[in-house]
Amino acid sequence: MKGSFMSFVRKETLHIVRDPRTMMIVLLMPVIQMVLFGFAISNEVNNIDVAVVAPHPTEAVRQAVERMSSNPYFTFKGYVPGTRVDATLRSGEADAVVVFADDYDRRIGAFSRGEGGEAALQIVFDASDTNTASAGAGYLRGVLLGGMSAASAPETHLLYNPQMKSSYSFVPGIMGMIFMLICAMMTSVSIVREKETGTMEVLLVSPVRPLRIVFAKMIPYFTLSCVNLLTILLLARFVLEVPMSGNLVPIVGLSLLYLVLALAFGLFISTVAERQATALIISAMLLLMPIIMLSGLAFPIENMPGVLQALSCVVPTRWYIEAVRKLMIEGLPLAAVLKELSILAAMTLVLIVVSLRKFNDKLE
Whole-angstrom Cα distance, residue 185 to residue 192?
Answer: 12
CA atoms of 198 and 194, how far apart (whole Å): 6
pLDDT tens column, 284-294? 777 777 888 88
Question: How many of the other CB atoms lie within 10 Å of CB of 110?
Answer: 17
pLDDT band, residue 346 (cuts 50/70/90): very high
CA distance 24 to 296: 27
Name which of 215, 183, 152 is nearest 356 in CA terms: 215
Is-contact 68 24, C-beta < 8 A?
no
Q: In whole angstroms, what is the distance from residue 237 CA to residue 230 CA?
A: 11
- List, for residues 192-209, the tens digit of each pLDDT value: 777 777 776 676 666 767
Q: How far apart are the first and last CA of the chain?
A: 53
Q: Is the pTM of this model over 0.85?
A: no
pLDDT of residue 150: 61
The distance from CA 119 to its chain's CA centroid, rounded to whole angstroms, is 36
CA pair distance 299, 38, nearest whole angstrom = 12
Residue 58 CB: number of other CB atoms within 10 A? 14
- Which residues, in sequence order, are bridge partners of residue 99? 53, 122
pLDDT of 122 above 80: yes
Tens-digit pLDDT profile for residues 71-80: 888 888 889 8
Distances (CA, A) of 116 to 35, 102, 120, 147, 316: 51, 17, 10, 16, 51
For 125, the enclosing helix (H) or strand (E) is strand 121-126
Whether 57 shows a pLDDT value over 70: the answer reads yes
CA distance 268 to 187: 9
Instruction: State how beta strands 121-126 and 155-159 pair.
Output: parallel
Residue in 188, 160, 159, 162 with CA at minimum distance from that of residue 172: 160
| C-alpha span between 61 and 275 (Å, rounded) | 66
At 306-337, the pLDDT tens digits run 888 888 899 999 999 999 988 888 888 888 89
